[in-house]
Structure 1
Amino acid sequence: MTRKSIANFCALSLSLFVLWTAPSDAQTLPAAISVSTPTQQRLDPQAVLKQLRSSRVIYLGETHDSEADHRAQLEIVRSLYQQNPKIAIGMEMFQRPFQSGLDRYLAGASTETMLREFTEYDKRWGFPWEFYSPIVNFAKQNQLPVIALNTPTEVTRKVARQGLESLTEAEKRYIPPIAEIRAEPGRYRDRLRELFNAFHSGKGRSRGFERFFQAQVLWDETMADAIAQFLNQNPDRQMIVLVGQGHIVYGEGIPDRVARRIPQVKQSTVLLNPPAHFLKEEAIADFFWKTR
C-alpha cells in the first residue's frame, strides 16, 4: 500500500470545505470566527487564545486541501505569537531527513524555490505550496523554529507493504526505536479498521490491515518523537503543530504518544472547521474553531 493510499484513508473522515478571507496584516481575529467545545459551549476566540497560552503543545488539526484551514492556522499562529514569542511550529508537511533544507531557508541562505527543492516538498507532500508558504514565511520573518515532523515516505511505504520488521538499520534512522512504536489503543485500531474495510468494500485482508495500521502508528509515533525531542531540548518553547485532523482526534494519534514521552505535558487540540459528525463527539478534541 502506498503512502498516497494511506492518505486517502485518513481523508475519508476529514472532508470539508469552507471559505474565509482575512487581511494578511490583521492584528485581531475576524468577527466571523466561532469557537466551541464538544459540549456545545460557545467561547470567545480571544479567551480561548489566552487559555491556549498555558499549553506546551497546541495542535491545529487541518483538512489538507482546505485553504480556509490554512488561513485560520496563520491567524492563530500570529495571535499566539503576540502572546508568547517563544513559539515553534511543527509541520507534518515536511519529513525529518529534510530539516536542514528548512533551516537554510529560515536562516536566509536559500530561496523559496530552493526550499521546495531541498525538502522535496512537491514530491513528498504535494498540496499547494501557497497554503503553507505564508506560515513558513511568518516563521522566517520572526526567527521562529520550524520542525519537520514526518516519517520519510520510503519508510512509511515499506512498512505498509512489508511491516515494521522489514526495516533496515539505515531506514530506522529517522523514526523512534522500534520498542517505542506501540500499536495501540484498541479504539484507534477499530476506527482505522472501519476505514480500511470501507475503502476495500469489506474485503480487506487481515494481514493487509495490520501493515496499514503499523504504517499509521509509525507515522504518529515519528511525529510525536520529533515533538518530544524538540520540547526536551528547548524547555522555554511552546510548539504549535500543523497536522491533519486524523492524527489528533480523541488524542489517540500524536497527543497520547507525546504524553507517553513527556508525562504531565499540557496539550490542547483544536479542530479547524470540523465536519458535522465530529461536532457530536464529546471526547474528540478540546476546541472546534469554525470560520463560517
Structure 2
Amino acid sequence: MKKTIPLLLILLFMFVGLVRAQDDVSYQPFDTDGNQLTWSDVAMRLQMYDVILVGETHNDSIGHVVELELLKTIAADTSRTSVAVSMEMFERDVQYIVDEYMDDQIVESHFKKSARAWDNYDTDYKPIVDFARENGLPLIAANSPRRYVNRVTRYGPEALDTLPPSAKKFLPPLPVAPPTDAYSAKWDKEMAEAMQHMTPDTTAAAPEPESEPDSDEEMADDSTDTEDYAAHGGFSLRRMLEAQNVWDAGMAYSIASHMTTVPGSSVVHYVGSFHVESRSGLPDHVQRYRPSARVGVVFLAPVANAAEFDSDLKGTGDIIIQTLSPGSE
C-alpha cells in the first residue's frame, strides 16, 4: 500500500522550505509582469490550472528543490480529483518500466538502467519520483524516443512516415502540426545567440536548447559533415527546429492522453525551459490536443540576484520563479 503524506505535514514542509528560502533569498516567485509573490500567492494561482508546465534549467540545483515544493503544493490541493507527474526525462517506450517501478515490481537499480535515467537523476529527479511513488501519483514517461526524433534532425519530419506501426505508437499522431511563428522566432533567436559562441569545429554538434544534460547524446547525428553543416546551416537549423517541435508534440500528446484516460486529472510536467518559454512550443500543442485544458507555465530561471526581478524574464511564464544561480551565493 502506498504511503500518503498528511496534508498538514505537507504544508509544514512547504512552510519550512519557504522560510529557509527567504533567509538566504535562494528563490523568489513573481507574476508574469515581475510583481513579487508569496508562496501562498503561488498556491492560489496554481489552482487556476489543470496542466502545470514547469520549465527548468537542468543543472539548476535550487530549481529542483523548488520543483518538489511545487509538486507538494499541488498534491496538497484537495480540490483536485487526482494529480499525475509527467517528465521529459523519460521516453514513451519505457512507460511500462516506469509503471513497474511505481508499483514496486522492480528495484531502483533496474529501473534506472532500463528506463535510461539521466545522469543527474539521483540528485535532481529522484526526489520528485520518490514523492510520486510514495503518494500513489502516476508517473508519465512523456518524451518521444530520441532514436526516432533524430531522424527528423537528419532527414526532416517526413522521415517519421516510413517508420513501422510498432515505432509510431511511441510518437504523437502524424503529421505533427508545424511550429508557430512565435516559436520559430524564439528558436531563431536562441540559435543565433548560440552560434555566436561557437567555433567552426563545434557547429555540427549544436545541441537542442534545454533538452537534457550535456553528457547525453546530442540532437545532431555524429556523421554530420561540419563543412556541409556550415554551408547549409539554415536548412540544418530548420530540421533541428522541426525535431524540437516533435519533442513538444510528443510530450503534449502524452499529457493529453493521460487526461483523456483519467478524466478530471491534473498533470504537473517537468521540462527544459525553452519548451515552454513565453507560452510557446509545448503549450501550443497541449491546447491543440486538449482544447479544454487550463494550461499554466511556471518558469524557473537561475539568476545572480533572486530577490530582484530580471526584466528580461517578463512574460516568460504565468508564474516566474527566480533561483540563485550557482556561484552567486
TM-score range normalised by the length of the shorter chain: 0.7 to 0.9
Q: Is the 8 A contact 2:60 2:302 kept in 1?
A: no
Moved more, 80-89 or 244-253: 80-89
Counterpart selection for 1:81 from 72, 75, 78: 75
Which stretch has the larger CA shift, 241-250 or 199-208? 199-208
User: Matched residue pairs, number?
Assistant: 265
The answer to whether residue 163 in structure 2 is matched with residue 193 in structure 1 is no
Code of the aligned partner of 2:237: F
1:35 aligns with 2:39: no
Q: Is residue 91 of structure 1 aligned with residue 84 of structure 2?
A: no
Deviation at residue 267 of structure 1 after TM alignment: 1.3
Q: Which string of whole-angstrom CA distances, capped at 9 and with x for unpartnered residues, describes residues 145-176 of structure 1?
A: 01011110101212111112122134322111
Query: Would the aligned equivalents of 1:38 and 1:280 in 2 still touch at CA under 8 Å?
Result: no
Deviation at 1:205, TM superposition (A): 1.9
Q: Percent identity?
A: 26
Q: 1:106 to 1:158 in 2, by over 3 A?
A: same
1:264 maps onto 2:292 in alignment: yes
SS at match of 1:43: coil
Q: Deviations over 1:172-194 (max 9, x none)?
A: 22111223x12221121122123
Structure 1: any 5+ residue segments left out of the alignment? 1-22
- Which one-letter code corresponds to 1:220 in the other structure? D
Structure 2 unaligned blocks of 5 or more: 1-9, 199-229, 325-329
What residue is the counterpart of 2:234 in the other structure?
A: 206
Q: Tell me, what secondary structure is at the counterpart of 1:120?
A: coil
Mapped pair 1:117 → 2:125: no
Using the alignment, how far apart are the partners of 1:106 and 1:216 within structure 2?
29
CA distance in 2, matches of 1:81, 1:61: 18
Q: Distance in 2 between the 1:197 and 1:30 partners? A: 38
Aligned to 1:285: 317
Question: Cα RMSD (Å) of the superposition?
Answer: 2.3
User: C-alpha separation between the residues in 1 aligned to 2:281 and 2:74?
Assistant: 24
1:183 aligns with 2:178: yes
Query: Partner residue of 2:218?
Result: none
Of the three residues 145, 155, 159, the one matched with 2:152 is 159
1:94 and 1:119 in contact (8 A); partners too:
yes
Q: Distance in 2 between matches of 1:145 and 1:89?
A: 6
Farther-moved stretch of structure 1 (125-134 vs 71-80): 125-134
Counterparts of residues 129-140 of structure 1 (less than 5 Å): 129-140=122-133
Cα displacement (A) at 1:251: 1.4
Q: Which one is further off, 203-212 or 70-79?
A: 203-212
Aligned equivalents of 1:264 and 1:166: distance in 2?
Answer: 31
2:141 corresponding residue in structure 1: 148
The structure with the largest alpha-carbon Rg is: 2
Distance 2:319 2:143 in 1: 24
Q: After TM superposition, give the deviation of residue 278 of structure 1 in Å.
A: 6.5
> Quick check: 2:129–2:139 contact (8 Å CA) kept in 1?
yes
SS at match of 2:76: helix
Structure 1 residue 253 and structure 2 residue 281: aligned? yes
1:112-154 CA distances to partner (integer Å, 9 max, x unpaired)? 1111122122xxx333432111110111111110101111010
> 2:14 & 2:318 partners in 1: Cα distance?
24
Report what 1:72 is aligned to: 66
**TM-score normalised by length of structure 1:** 0.83
